[in-house]
Amino acid sequence: MLDALDVSAVVKRFGDYTAVNNLSFSVKSGEVFGFLGGNGAGKTTTLRMILDILWPDAGSISVLGNAPGRGHACDIGFLPEERGLYRAMSAIDTIVYFARLKNMPAAEAKREGLALLDRFGLGGQAKTRVDQLSKGMSQKVQLATALVNKPKLLILDEPFSGLDPLNQGLLEDEILAASRGGATVIFSTHVMQHAERLCDRLLLLARGVKRFEGTQDEARATLPIKLALTARNSPAKLPGVISADAQGIAADGWQSWDVKLEPGRSADDLLEHCTSQGFALRRFEQHRASLHDIFVHIVGAPEDTK
């Protein structure tokens, strides 16, 4: 099966500024793929090249097996970072309008649009003008325009921006529902919690350069494993231990330790070694690195990541 998206050695410059620098990655069909980086990382520029809004200065892009273009627009759904709807149109007319641009028959577009509005709790506002809706309601209408054609490829640029926690949860549910329905989903974000809950694989981008591509577990494997131990003796000389820092106050001969293992080492192997060698333990707990920790380790900590 062909990848839903393949980006190969793509470069995009704006004058002397290189926004995307020799970027290559692929997205498998049916994946939820996170496109992560701070502001200015090149996320939106890359998505616009995938959508044929911008054109690369070098490299190639394949979208659903074809070069970017309008020929397969009916198979793509797009939610832009900068929201924009026709404010004088009703909610349902807006959805139908965007669906018709993707070659959906009007009757089918209206049926699907009304079903989406019902699902989003806006069934009673179908005929309400966009300029009379709250910001959260209008964002749901915008999301419906991206979903109405049941796209094979759904592209969401900073989709959680400006949403309250309740609507963020609704959007996460819609992303997972689209994936279960067979769609490939690509979304950009600088909020790590959403990507951590949703992504099958992810790309970490900084200043237009790819820093990592793979699964979250593969990314975690690049970090030292952190453990919390309570032991009678120092674990500093155990195999694979990088550092062992004493914590708290020793009591009854026991001491708490914060321990780091070399990347690639297994906490299970260390526990087995302790057991077989009679290294006395009262506590052995592994800390799971968050996606924020991973991002900071691989990319750094720009002010606009959370």
**Do 112 and 248 have their domain in common?**
no
**Do 169 and 36 have their domain in common?**
yes
Is residue 236 situated within a structural domain? yes
* Residue 96 pLDDT class (50, 70, 90 cuts): very high
**Structural domain boundaries, residue 278:** 224-288
For residues 20 and 42, is the Cβ–Cβ distance under 8 A?
yes
Quote the pLDDT of residue 253: 83
pTM recorded for the entire structure:
0.84
| Cα 249–Cα 252–Cα 256 angle in degrees, nearest 5 | 40
User: For the chain, what percent of residues have pLDDT higher than 90?
Assistant: 70
> Cα(304)–Cα(19) distance, rounded to whole angstroms?
17
Is residue 297 situated within a structural domain? no
| CATH, residue 194 | 3.40.50.300
Q: Is 127 left (phi over 0), alpha (psi -120 to 50) or beta?
A: alpha
**Do 19 and 152 have their domain in common?**
yes
**Do 63 and 138 have their domain in common?**
yes
- Across residues 253-278, what is the average pLDDT? 91
Domain final residue pick, 168, 199, 219: 219
> Cα(39)–Cα(190) distance, rounded to whole angstroms?
8
- Across residues 269-290, what is the average pLDDT? 93
**Do 50 and 9 have their domain in common?**
yes
> Cα(261)–Cα(284) distance, rounded to whole angstroms?
13
| Cα 213–Cα 263–Cα 223 angle in degrees, nearest 5 | 55
